[in-house]
Structure 1
Amino acid sequence: MILTLLVVASTIFTVLLLLLPSLRNASDKRCSVQVVVLGDLGRSPRMQYHAWSIATHGGHVQLIGYRETNPLPELLSHPNVVIVPLSRAPNWLQTSNKVLFLLFGPLKVLVQAWTLWQALSYSTPACKWMLVQNPPSIPTLLLVSMVAFFRRTRLVVDWHNFGYSILALKLGEGHPLVRMSKLYETALSRVAYANFTVTDAMAKVLKSDYGITAPVLTLHDRPADLYQPLTDMQRLSFLQRYPPVTAHFNALVDGKARLLVSSTSWTPDEDFGILLDALCSYSASATSSHPQLPELIVVITGKGPQKQRYLDKIKELHATDALEMVPIYTDWLSFEDYALLLGSADLGVSLHTSSSGVDLPMKVVDMFGAGLPVAGWSKFRAWPELVTENVNGKGFGSSEELADILRELFDPASKKLGQLKHGARHESQRRWSSEWDPVAGKLFGIVT
């Protein structure tokens, strides 16, 4: 019922805005931007990079979102950045059960709508611009559209993915709520003053399928300066003090072991069973037909709803010696240590499957920033926009394909891993500022 009302309201509101275009012009306010994330600020790197770029160019930023994980230290200390925390919905409204989700979901939306409305309408002064992350689209798009309209603020939507496609992961593509969510998202997508997308493929979908006539600008993700290739001394220094791998330090230095890293939010759009199956296959090969293969030290970083499920599975596999040559550790690191971990690793793995087919995982961008080659799930349309096959990474579409990649790259007689590292280091030269300045900086009027 709530979603139905949101769809109707968003349609009426869209028509109203289109009929009254003169009211959409922003009033003369100082160069200020509200950066809105209906999610954890600390786990929204792209929106933090937006805020940092605006602030360093002299703009004033209100960074609005949940304060569960600390944002970048540079944002916490910057005089041009004010962080406005949102109150989180009660934990009992969080559920992975499909039936309970249909019951609790509307209540959670109401709580989110109220806290976001309070923050945007009463707790913060009006800004010239509002930059909002999508998804989540419900209730975000409707609320920010209303606030931007009444406050005469120019709304820019930063499209990371499509909200309805993520909802489909939980309910199925044919579910009525998924279809209604798509109608809601489509209607409100036409309200924004401008749009950013993470891929060219997504920009094409917004123009062709969503019918957006406002500017749609591709702004590819690029790493922040925090992520850099490490010198040998920096790598050794980190490995020597990083607890999960200190016991393997000598083996890593001597080349008898290799370090593999994967980061995840432990959500349904990343099937970690693929990685576990591949690691079991690699371990079996290393103990039988391919004895030359080194031990793999695997570190998996991140937080999320499915973490315990996979931790139980990993414990079970270790108990049966299925991972004899592959010890696995999980961790949650600070931004600084995560960057050092990526720079110290031999290979990164991405299991992001893309619910829409046109979004890309930010984690791969960070890996490239640290000069780390990537093996990633590649069976979606936008993959070639991020990874150049056999130059800076390799794609796979099954656990056995990933196992073959691991055996090929970590074979001491193979030169392929060195070639991919060279390509990843070359890719690391492409930085966020060079992408952001001519696109977002120009739109906001703070870069000439």
Structure 2
Amino acid sequence: MLPTRYVRHSPPKETTTSSVNEPKISVQVLVLGDIGRSPRMQYHAMSIAKHGGRVDFIGYQESTLNPGLVENSLITIVPLQPPPSLLRSNTLPFIFAGPLKVLWQIWSLYYTLGYQTKPARWLLVQNPPSIPTLFIALIICFFRNTHLIIDWHNYGWTILAGTKGPTHPFVMLSKHYEAILGSFAPTASFTVTNAMAKQLRSRPYNVRSPILTLHDRPAAIFQPISNSEARRAFLARIPETSGFAAAIMAGETKLLVSSTSWTPDEDFSLLLTALCHYAESTDKLPPILAIITGKGPQKQMYLDRIASLTSTSKLQNITVATAWLTAQDYATLLACADLGVCLHKSSSGVDLPMKVVDMFGAGLPVVGYAAYESWEELVKEGINGRGFTKSEELAAVFEELFADREGKQLARLRKGAVEEGSRRWDEEWDSVAGRLFGLCD
């Protein structure tokens, strides 16, 4: 049971005045993952603090955090203790490592939420992962009379089904667990798409509490670049593009950018195969510099494959480079590129990749995997981007867009991307989450 001093039978008294010492509300933001790789939850925390709310941001602190988090006196980072290395490696079979990892997470979540943080009026939880996050959040909210909000990014069971298969016992257990707790636990829910909100209202979820669609929108750091000299200077500065800067500026080499987590739900082989098709074309097409950013478990496997394709001359006039950039350099790279590529495959069919939102914020048109229901909520075919389902289709899009020497098609798509990216996170958040929290009219 929680210590007596932390038990609450009514919401903590909080002032409605605006000052650092007397925050408007208190919110715990919980991510059972790396805080630095959870941009949407970071934006939540900064928006709450911007409007005078106090935030305890709870999660694993593994990568660099947004300066807006660490420099804000209203935001406190509360790191979770990661599981032992044995449970994070592939040494133990999943049937043993999985349950042991969950037990570790149950203890660390309960201890951190119940003993290391003060009671808050709201607990905002990222889902997935749902196990054991939703269960522990429900217990904590019961003892402290805290209002629980679930921010649905996707479904945990559909992601697990991608690796274990839909009939695996753990997948079926995860599905029922997520549906049951998701149906009655939250005071309210946020979803990333209208399609997800609609699905949560039906079986097996049957969520009856309010469901609000809060679309991802680009943060202020993602901006188009209209100054050609600024674009030239950046391309000449970073090592991945410095040797190609003049050719990119002249339109003689096309710059592709793709951000990936190097996981099975982003099939990088689609892009590699498409680039091989492009290289085999008998048409006179411009060279491509493809820069891939991100970290993940399959990175080395694909790096080896890229090296093999390059050594066997299957990537003629194609250069593939990987990069790990600061947030500002990544945002600028998007603004300097000719085309963004998204390989995200939705396990649920109703989520959307935030990387596309960031690309639109930088005024970068997108070509992405489009075989799921919610894709058209964000990307409008031929207006701000293009869709594909097979590598041959992706190669055909590259050829069509890059064969246009005058760049009229890319210019039209870029205009659409700028328009789509003009609605920013603050505007979206204030009208949805800000009103729910009572921070905005």
Q: TM above 0.5, one fold? A: yes
1:304-350 residue CA offsets vs partner (Å, 9 max, x unmatched)? 11111111111111111111211111111111111011111110000
2:38 matched to 1:44?
A: yes
TM-score by length of 1: 0.92
| Alpha-carbon separation, structure 1, partners of 2:209 and 2:27 | 19
Structure 2 match to 1:151: 144
Structure 2 match to 1:282: 278
Structure 2 match to 1:215: 210
What's the % identity of the aligned pairs? 53
Task: After TM superposition, give the deviation of residue 234 of structure 1 in Å.
Answer: 2.1
2:253 matched to 1:261?
A: no
How many residues align? The count is 421
- 8 A contact 1:263–1:300 mirrored in 2: yes
2:42 matched to 1:57?
A: no
What one-letter code is carried by the residue in structure 1 that aligns with 2:223?
Answer: Q
2:369 matched to 1:373?
A: no
Task: After TM superposition, give the deviation of residue 418 of structure 1 in Å.
Answer: 1.2
Please state whether the residue corresponding to 1:208 is helix, strand or coil: coil
Please state whether the residue corresponding to 1:63 is helix, strand or coil: strand
What one-letter code is carried by the residue in structure 1 that aligns with 2:260?
Answer: T
Task: After TM superposition, give the deviation of residue 102 of structure 1 in Å.
Answer: 2.1
- 8 A contact 1:364–1:374 mirrored in 2: yes
1:128-143 correspondence to structure 2 within 5 Å:
128-143=121-136
Task: After TM superposition, give the deviation of residue 27 of structure 1 in Å.
Answer: 4.2
Structure 2 match to 1:87: 81
Runs of 4+ deviating beyond 6 Å: none
- 8 A contact 2:27–2:124 mirrored in 1: yes
1:155-178 residue CA offsets vs partner (Å, 9 max, x unmatched)? 000000001001101100111111
- 8 A contact 1:25–1:154 mirrored in 2: no
2:298 matched to 1:306?
A: yes
Task: After TM superposition, give the deviation of residue 24 of structure 1 in Å.
Answer: 8.7
Task: After TM superposition, give the deviation of residue 216 of structure 1 in Å.
Answer: 0.5
Structure 2 match to 1:170: 163
1:47-95 residue CA offsets vs partner (Å, 9 max, x unmatched)? 0000010000011111111111122111110111111111112233235
| Alpha-carbon separation, structure 2, partners of 1:445 and 1:70 | 30
2:42 matched to 1:68?
A: no
- 8 A contact 1:29–1:127 mirrored in 2: no
| Alpha-carbon separation, structure 1, partners of 2:95 and 2:354 | 30
Could you tell me which of 245, 249, 266 is aligned with 1:270?
A: 266
Structure 1 match to 2:381: 389
- 8 A contact 1:196–1:217 mirrored in 2: yes
2:187 matched to 1:193?
A: yes
Structure 1 match to 2:404: 412
1:94-132 residue CA offsets vs partner (Å, 9 max, x unmatched)? 3569x8222211111111221111111111111100101
Could you tell me which of 28, 33, 52 is aligned with 2:13?
A: 28
Cα 1:328/1:185, change in 2 over 3 Å: same
2:198 matched to 1:204?
A: yes
TM-score by length of 2: 0.93
1:334-345 correspondence to structure 2 within 5 Å:
334-345=326-337
2:102 matched to 1:109?
A: yes
What one-letter code is carried by the residue in structure 2 that aligns with 1:395?
Answer: G
- 8 A contact 1:161–1:356 mirrored in 2: yes
Give me the CA root mean square deviation: 1.4
What are structure 2's unaligned runs of at least 5 residues?
1-7, 16-24
2:425 matched to 1:440?
A: no
What one-letter code is carried by the residue in structure 1 that aligns with 2:265?
Answer: D
Could you tell me which of 400, 405, 408 is aligned with 2:392?
A: 400
Which deviates more from structure 2 when the two are superposed, residues 40-49 or residues 105-114? 105-114
- 8 A contact 2:12–2:119 mirrored in 1: no
| Alpha-carbon separation, structure 2, partners of 1:338 and 1:24 | 46
Task: After TM superposition, give the deviation of residue 143 of structure 1 in Å.
Answer: 0.6
What are structure 1's unaligned runs of at least 5 residues?
1-22
- 8 A contact 2:161–2:171 mirrored in 1: yes
Structure 2 match to 1:318: 310
Please state whether the residue corresponding to 2:291 is helix, strand or coil: strand
Could you tell me which of 230, 247, 254 is aligned with 1:251?
A: 247
2:153 matched to 1:160?
A: yes
| Alpha-carbon separation, structure 1, partners of 2:10 and 2:258 | 45
Which deviates more from structure 2 when the two are superposed, residues 319-328 or residues 352-361? 319-328
| Alpha-carbon separation, structure 1, partners of 2:412 and 2:394 | 18
Structure 1 match to 2:3: none
Cα 1:154/1:25, change in 2 over 3 Å: farther
- 8 A contact 1:349–1:375 mirrored in 2: yes
Which deviates more from structure 2 when the two are superposed, residues 224-233 or residues 84-93? 84-93
What one-letter code is carried by the residue in structure 2 that aligns with 1:384?
Answer: E
